[in-house]
Amino acid sequence: MSEKMNYTIKNENIEIYNESETYVFPKYTSQLINWANQNAQGTRPVVVGQMSELFPEFMKSGMEITIENWHKWYTEKYPDAFDKATDKIYAQVQNLRNAIPLIDREMVKNWVEDLVINKTFNGLYVQKAILTFLAEKRGTAYRLATPAEESVGIDGYVGDIPYSVKPDTYKTMGRLSETINVKMIYYTKTKNGLKIEVED
């Protein structure tokens, strides 16, 4: 019976085997450019093309597979891509350059406190925000549940209606075992906030 062997090839070795050279950037600069690019979206497919489709197309082109030929093939297909991407990212780098002098120790401390306290609280404690929102929509009042009401699955009331507020993943766990008549509100966190589904 033959043995199986496991190996790892490091990125720097792949570059050597492929006879390609990558740029060496001064410390922190690559991270900053990458950060600027995330905001500028300079290397999105709409700007530079879809690499997962383009590279296989290049490999079928009949050209010898070398990094020089890949560069030639790509730039013929997307002659303005490097400049377009660079313009978008460089504009964002300028924004970072303008923002960095504004950051002092106090601002960093405020950022940390905002992340640990406010973002955590607002990210993990959504019942009150959801009930307040629903009460505003319905032109009525809301209140959070008492400990006794919580023990039977009620998170709060909008008007006279008791609600249980749960993440949408709760749907797959089955209904509440409590026999109390409670309406469900399911929420899904999105990049921009919450999507809620209210049982009527």
Spatial distance between the Cα atoms of 173 and 69, rounded to a whole number of angstroms: 55
Binned average pLDDT, 10 residues per bin, the chain of 200 residues:
76 82 87 93 95 94 93 96 97 95 96 89 83 94 91 91 89 58 87 86
Nearest-angstrom CA–CA distance, 77 and 183: 57
**pLDDT value of residue 132:** 93
User: Of all helices (H) and strands (E), which one includes residue 178?
Assistant: none
Residue 133: the pLDDT is 93
Query: What pLDDT does residue 114 have?
Result: 92
In the chain, alpha helices (H): 11-17, 29-40, 45-48, 51-59, 67-77, 81-99, 105-113, 120-124, 127-138, 147-150
Residue 9 Cα distances to 16, 33, 53, 55, 88, angstroms: 11, 27, 24, 21, 34
Identify the pLDDT of residue 1: 62
Contact criterion met (CB below 8 Å) for 157 and 163 = yes
The helix (H) or strand (E) run that includes residue 142 is strand 142-144
Cα–Cα dist 80/171, whole Å: 49
Rg of the chain over all Cα atoms, to the nearest angstrom: 27
